Amino acid sequence: MTPDDKFQMRKDSGPSIMINPLSKGDETSAALAVVKATVGQKAGLLSLAGDALCLAVTALRLSEPTPRVPKQKETSSNPPTISLDQVSWHDHRADCWVVIYDQVYDITEFLPEHPGGEEILLEYAGRDATLAFRGIGHDVAMLQTLQECFLGVLPESERIYSTPGGKLAGLRCS
């Protein structure tokens, strides 16, 4: 007979677990059974607590006001500067921003119109989508389609493609 066979565990109607010894005198086995039961309960509670924390963080993130940058007229010579941190807050179907060639676009309205489907765009929501944009074969001229979605540009310190003196310096599809 193994130490586990000496004790029978059953759930009571309450939150605690009752342990009935089948034979008396083996306190080590009783302690082991209590520890196993407690650890099992604690693991379940930790899992629930982790799920609750994830839900709370998601709810908080969705409820916090996100910085909105008003759309500028195309005649503006100095478009607004929008950081990657600001872009990262707009990462879902109802509010979707992407960066392409260091320019920020609000593509929320464009999602259902995208010929490849909105799912591919949502993969890059709140992030830089330049490599995916180029990888599928789009060229810079294709950005004219997104011109009405243009919000601004990344700060110079966060730019990759339109660095001062670079090939795309001053790029503005209009």
For residues 108 and 94, is the Cβ–Cβ distance under 8 A? yes
Q: Are residues 51 and 107 in the same domain?
A: no
CA distances from 148 to 67, 74, 131 (A): 19, 9, 21
Same domain, 89 and 37: no
Tell me the CA distances in angstroms from 77 to 128, 151, 174, one per residue in order: 23, 13, 11
Same domain as 25, residue 88: no
Instruction: Sort strands 103-106 and 95-100 into parallel, antiparallel or unpaired.
Output: antiparallel
Q: Find out whether 130 and 101 touch, Cβ atoms under 8 Å.
A: yes
Q: What is the CA radius of gyration of the chain?
A: 29
Residue-wise pLDDT tens digits, 129-174: 999 998 998 877 788 888 999 999 999 999 988 766 655 555 555 4
- Tracing tokens 């670079």 back to the chain, one arrives at 166
Q: List pLDDT tens digits, range 106-122.
A: 999 999 988 888 999 99
Instruction: Report the share of the chain in percent with pLDDT over 70.
Output: 52
CATH number at residue 89: 3.10.120.10
Give how many domains the chain has, as a whole number. Answer: 2
Based on the fold, state whether residues 109 and 153 are members of the same structural domain. yes
- Would residue 30 count as lying in a domain? yes
Residue ranges making up the domain that contains 95 = 84-158
* Contact (CB, 8 A) for 100 and 143: yes
pTM of the model: 0.54
